[in-house]
A and B are shown apart, each in its own frame.
Chain A
């Protein structure tokens, strides 16, 4: 029985495919709007093996990766800096929370005017959204560093700077990874939406909207599933990194 438990997720997938098939067979949904699982799988395969879908998939990865990189480079040091002084963070907390709550998609027109319709805009809007999520988490991670650990470092003779680098920084790591995971899923959402915008010529968002306009439903479903897999993959990647670099998290 124990070996069986790891196959449990397969039942859900199987269930979904069965319901999907039944939907197609019973023609509850217009067959044009809902291709069969087989057709969709074929579209994914054809697209990913030497097709255009693979290229779009890679373009979206590239944009999301740049976004998260830019966001991290800015937000992690800034978060540590702001979090190291509670008063400082309290002063900027409202501004951070306000923009964190602002849908980043509302900023597209502004960024389009400033940076034009190229890749820059897509990457920067996604970076903006992700950076605030990361910043907030890093700052909280630093602020919630265990008091005893800070005192332990101090009593052993660590300077304030060393307490920051040796203890606060390490203490903030678990929360930083929470921020990175949330940040990367937000960045992916924004990148895909941005790719649906005017002026886009590639990316999974472009592939979805393009297939829809051409009424190539299997291709559209294929692009949607590949986007889902990408989001899931990013999450998995960061969870793996977290396990490796923050091995003490939750212990």
Chain B
């Protein structure tokens, strides 16, 4: 399948070395048009966060990219291939319902490996490496329901990373966690990103989080969703608690907030 050549593109947020390309995407829920002929490119080896008004289709877009939800029209390619031919990871907001409670945490993490044709030794190596990345101190022989929310979501993230996905999607992954745990998990995710450079797309309802984690922030308009802005945030990593008072952060946040409020007022 061919991606539309660059000269036919009309917006400056479309790029040459995109990891995920979205062309002519349309989606309706009943009579409500969520996406109408939507084009977008997701950059490679970057964290792109998606932020926008409630109900604008933030989660819808990653669900359609991940093929968890059918689209009405359009083409979505990951590295030029349909999603079915690529390895992706997906982290759900509701970790309680996403993990398998009948499996121990370690077996939850191993579960997707069986679809990859790896030897036992390779499988073990994958898991060990991951445990090392995260510096996991929790007992992975426990069942998910014996763990705290943050630990469960950590297991979820490990399960999505163990296949070494081309793209990792995260749908408001920390919104069900308490603040302390959220801060810790953001930094865990950032650490993994710095180690692996995995392309990530993270939906957030928290602007500060969206900017803190992002290389690029995609601001969506009210539905039908358009790109309200696509903002680069290049504060060097690792970012930490103080980053949110860095002048660059404050400036980007102010700009994003202005765009967001303009979009909200339109509705």
Residues in A lying within 8 Å of B, measured CB to CB: 146-149, 151-152, 154-158, 166-167, 170, 173, 246-248, 251
Contacts and interface: CB of A to CB of B under 8 A. Distances in A.
B100 A148 contact: no
A167 B111 CA distance: 12
Contacts of A173: 102
Interface in B63-105: 66-68, 87-90, 92, 94, 97-102
B68 A154 contact: yes
A167 B88 contact: no
Contacts of A148: 92, 94, 97-98
B97 A167 contact: no
Interface in B142-191: 143, 145, 159, 163
A170 B111 CA distance: 14
Contact of A247 (B87, B98, B111, B143): B143
B92 to A, nearest CB: 5
Contacts of A251: 101, 145
B242 to A, nearest CB: 36
27 contacts: A146-B97, A147-B97, A148-B98, A149-B98, A151-B90, A151-B92, A152-B90, A152-B92, A152-B98, A152-B99, A152-B100, A155-B66, A155-B68, A155-B88, A155-B89, A156-B111, A157-B87, A157-B115, A157-B116, A157-B163, A158-B115, A170-B102, A173-B102, A247-B102, A248-B101, A248-B143, A251-B101
User: 8 tightest A-B contacts by CB?
Assistant: A248-B101, A157-B115, A156-B112, A251-B145, A148-B97, A155-B90, A146-B97, A152-B98
Contact of A167 (B90, B100, B112): B100
A170 B145 contact: no
Contacts of A167: 100
Q: Is the interface of B mostly helix, strand, loop or mixed?
A: loop
B115 A248 contact: no
Given A166-B100, A248-B145, 10 more contacts: A147-B97, A151-B92, A152-B92, A152-B99, A155-B89, A156-B112, A157-B112, A173-B102, A248-B143, A251-B101
Interface range on chain B: under 10, 10 to 19, 20 to 34, or 35 or more?
A: 20 to 34
A249 to B, nearest CB: 9
A90 to B, nearest CB: 22
A248 B43 CA distance: 41
A152 B103 CA distance: 14
B257 to A, nearest CB: 31
A147 to B, nearest CB: 8
B64 to A, nearest CB: 12
A141 to B, nearest CB: 13
Nearest to B88: A155
Interface in B86-136: 87-90, 92, 94, 97-102, 111-112, 115-116
Nearest to B93: A148
Contacts of A248: 101-102, 143, 145
Contact of A149 (B68, B88, B100, B115): B100
Nearest to B162: A156
A149 B98 CA distance: 5
B84 to A, nearest CB: 9
Contacts of A147: 97
Contacts of B101: 248, 251
A251 B159 CA distance: 21
Contacts of B112: 156-157
Nearest to B113: A156
B89 to A, nearest CB: 8
Contacts of B143: 247-248
Nearest to B146: A251
B50 to A, nearest CB: 18
A155 B99 CA distance: 13
Contacts of B66: 155
Contact of A156 (B94, B145, B163): B163
A248 B92 CA distance: 20
B124 to A, nearest CB: 18
Contacts of B97: 146-149
Contacts of B88: 155
Nearest to A169: B102
Nearest to A250: B145
A175 to B, nearest CB: 14
Contacts of B159: 156
Contact of B100 (A154, A157, A170, A246): A170
Contacts of A149: 97-98, 100
